[in-house]
Amino acid sequence: MTTDINAENLADSPFDLLKACIHCGMCLSTCPTYRVTGSEAESPRGRLYLMKHLDMKHRGAESGTQTNERITSATGILPHLDNCLGCLSCETACPSGVQYGELLFKTRKDWVSHPRTFWYPLQRWVKQLIFSHVLTHRKWLVSGRHFYKLLQRFGVFSWLKRLTWARSLPWVGPALALAPVIPHRYKPLHPGLSFGNTSGERVALMLGCVMDAVYNHVHWATIQVLVENGYYVYIPEQTCCGALAHHAGEEAIARDLAQQNLVSILHSNPDWIVLNSAGCGSTMKEISKQFAGDTVFEEKAKHFSEKVVDIMVLLTKKPLRPMKKRLSMTVVYHAACHLQHAQKVRLEPEAVLRQIPGIDLIPLSEPELCCGSAGIYNLEHPEISADIMALKRLDIIKTQADVLVSGNPGCLLQFAAGLRPQTTEEKPIAILHPIELLAEAYGYRGYLPQ
């Protein structure tokens, strides 16, 4: 028996959502991979069509029926879906309400075990190991940070960058290109610590993995600003948020981590669960979707999602207390995709930044465009990522701003490498998290470059 792809056959499938696409193409110009490749297969509309093919294949395999010969091989289709950043800019642009993210992550989950290349099973095993055994162990991450600093101090990265063979190694070459200069300051944070007056609203701070290992000072800025504004901040028992596993289609790992966080953080009775990392925030905000239909965890997951909030949104919940210091500088704000497109947080960060005395906020021409970071996308797809960063760079450099701020560690790493001056005439731009500017304005020191 063969099965054709048509609307009737797609009924009763989670992929019914695909039928919302009216093929208008309004998403194309906002899609970074389409912008840099010009290929329909690398566009949201093209990928939706490919997902439809895969769904038919998947359901054909499950029901024991054979799908039509016209359906292209999955091995030929999957790389186009793997090339998607998951930035969800297409969802924001779509007039028909296509839930592209739902479809993408469902497809990735269904096809994650299907080999694309000879090395794919090994790559997948390494990623699973990292997601479930490295990112979940803070001690390992902190030790990794200290080891990294040591290598940096002895110039190992500069030496490796000069070796052609090292630059051409997968993952290693792109990592060397990024190789951020990590600040010297590291003040450990761990579950059990708390700050501020206990009469304030209880804020559970999520530490994350990269955020704490590379941008630990951003957590301290977050704590300082929240305490200045009357909140009681504490560090609950927690593990990795599972965002990278979820985006890679490794749902079993993502769900296990989500469940651990759900149980331990709710047990600490927070009023808010605050994040300063857009990627982690978007995954934790959607925890209710992961547990939909689960008799034990569905209600708890909804309750949890309602409490998850980005730091810049929490700071708009009540008037900010007066800041003490004037920061005379021009600032450009890059809205992380997982904040503006996934969490639909668009106005709050700039509304907060405008309250900092002396800040002149300069708009970007294309504020919706991704920077090409997307979790570990810049390590897995370095060429496309670099092309996207080049587009973003043009938009930012022409503003001549002193500082670029963004609320996501992946974006901060991408900009630290991508906005390095390319000529002696080019003005250097400092890369900061928005909360660092607020901490400075409240009188805390050490966040601005000297």
Among the residue ranges 95-103, 132-140, 154-162, 431-439, the one whose residues contact ligand SF4 (CB under 6 A) = 95-103
- Our finding on whether 85 is near ligand SF4 (CB under 6 A) is yes
Nearer to ligand SF4, 102 or 298 (CB): 102
Q: How many residues does the chain have?
A: 450
| For ligand SF4, the closer CB: 51 or 356 | 51
All residues at 6 or more sequence positions from 250 whose CB lies less than 8 Å from its CB, including other chains: 112, 127, 128, 131
Q: Least CB distance from residue 44 to ligand SF4, whole Å?
A: 4
Is residue 100 near ligand SF4 by the rule CB under 6 A? Answer: yes
Question: Which of 15, 33, 206, 359 touches ligand SF4 (CB under 6 A)?
Answer: 33
As a dihedral over the C-alpha atoms of residue 231, residue 234, residue 239, residue 240, rounded to 10 degrees, the angle is 40
DSSP line for 171-235 = THHHHHHH-----S------TT-EES-TTSPEEEEP--SHHHHHHHHHHHHHHHHHHHTT-EEE-
Task: Report the DSSP pairing between strands 232-234 and 194-195.
Answer: antiparallel
Nearer to ligand SF4 among residue 26 and residue 266 (C-beta): 26
Does residue 24 touch ligand SF4 according to CB under 6 A? yes
Single out the segment in contact with ligand SF4 by CB under 6 A; choices: 52-60, 87-95, 275-283, 391-399. Answer: 87-95
The nearer residue to ligand SF4, 32 or 410, going by C-beta atoms, is: 32
Query: Contact between 87 and ligand SF4 (CB under 6 A)?
Result: yes
Does residue 23 interact with ligand SF4 by CB under 6 A? yes
The total of other beta-carbon atoms located within 10 Å of residue 254's CB is 26
Distances (CA, A) of 57 to 18, 44, 69, 284: 15, 20, 11, 31
Looking at the Cβ atoms of 13 and 128, the one nearer to ligand SF4 is 13
Which position has the token pair 């250097």?
Answer: 428
With CB under 6 A as the contact rule, which of the stretches 11-19, 79-87, 130-138, 180-188 interacts with ligand SF4? 79-87
**Which one, 30 or 259, has the nearer CB to ligand SF4?**
30
The CB-of-38 to ligand SF4 minimum distance in angstroms stands at 13
Q: How far is the CB of 312 from ligand SF4 (least distance, A)?
A: 22
* Alpha-carbon gap, residue 160 to 425, rounded angstroms: 28
- The Cα angle at residue 152 between residues 150 and 157, in degrees rounded to 5: 130
Which of 372, 364, 363 lies closest to 415 in space, CA to CA?
372
Phi and psi angles of residue 61, each rounded to the nearest 5 degrees, phi first: -65, -40
Nearer to ligand SF4, 25 or 358 (CB): 25
Q: How many residues bind ligand SF4, per CB under 6 A?
A: 27
Q: Is 429 in the site for ligand SF4 (CB under 6 A)?
A: no
Stretch that binds ligand SF4, among 28-36, 209-217, 229-237, 276-284 (CB under 6 A): 28-36
Q: In whole angstroms, how far apart are CA 150 and each of 5, 147, 153, 157, 214? A: 57, 5, 5, 10, 14
Q: Can residue 47 be called a binding residue for ligand SF4 (CB under 6 A)?
A: yes
Q: Measured between alpha carbons, how far is 176 from 151 in angstroms, rounded to an integer? A: 12
Q: CB nearer to ligand SF4: give 7 or 296.
A: 7
Q: Is 89 in the site for ligand SF4 (CB under 6 A)?
A: yes
Q: Which residues bind ligand SF4 (CB under 6 A)?
A: 21-27, 30-33, 44-45, 47-48, 84-90, 93-94, 96, 98, 100
